[in-house]
């Protein structure tokens, strides 16, 4: 037992402090932690998602009707994430509102969706240049 704690102390002494890389999104939201946190469900590259916003929303509504609230929450989040990419604030509110309703979880993006979508669009313009 004693040797193990000595090894751990040695390991901690030898571990170099590493700097963390600041992401583009973090840089864009540097002065606004709340918006950065609100975008935690944002897709960094939504072009890789194989369903449309409408398909995800339809699956969410169907799951909700069938009382499959976990699937409904997931599909509402997918639809909301795609709506962020499409810059459709009304749909962002609708879909994250649906996720909030079925899960009871609060979504920060609903506090100021216009600002969050605007920051997301800045991110997409910088990061997803084709």
Structural domain spans, the chain: 25-127
Helix (H, G, I), strand (E, B) or coil at 107: coil
Give the Å distances, CA to CA, from 123 to 39, 45, 60, 74, 80.
11, 10, 27, 23, 17
Q: Alpha-carbon distance 53 to 76, whole Å?
A: 9
Residue 9 vs residue 125, higher pLDDT: 125
Residue 104 vs residue 25, higher pLDDT: 104
pTM of structure: 0.78
Kindly state the average pLDDT of the residues 43-56: 93
Q: Are 23 and 123 within 8 A, CB to CB?
A: no
Please state, for a pLDDT cut of 70, what percent of the chain lies above it.
82
Could you give the maximum distance between any two Cα atoms of the chain, in Å? 60
């Amino acid at each position: 037992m004693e040797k193990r704690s000595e090894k751990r102390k040695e390991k901690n002494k030898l571990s170099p402090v590493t700097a963390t890389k600041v992401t583009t999104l973090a840089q864009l939201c540097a002065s606004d932690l709340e918006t950065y946190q609100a975008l935690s469900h944002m897709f960094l590259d939504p072009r890789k998602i194989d369903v449309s916003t409408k398909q995800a929303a339809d699956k969410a509504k169907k799951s909700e009707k069938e009382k499959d609230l976990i699937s409904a929450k997931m599909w509402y989040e997918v639809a909301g994430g795609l709506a962020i990419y499409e810059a459709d604030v009304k749909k962002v509110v609708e879909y994250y509102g649906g996720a909030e309703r079925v899960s009871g979880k609060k979504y920060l993006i609903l506090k100021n969706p216009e600002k969050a979508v605007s920051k997301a669009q800045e991110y997409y313009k910088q990061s997803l240049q084709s």
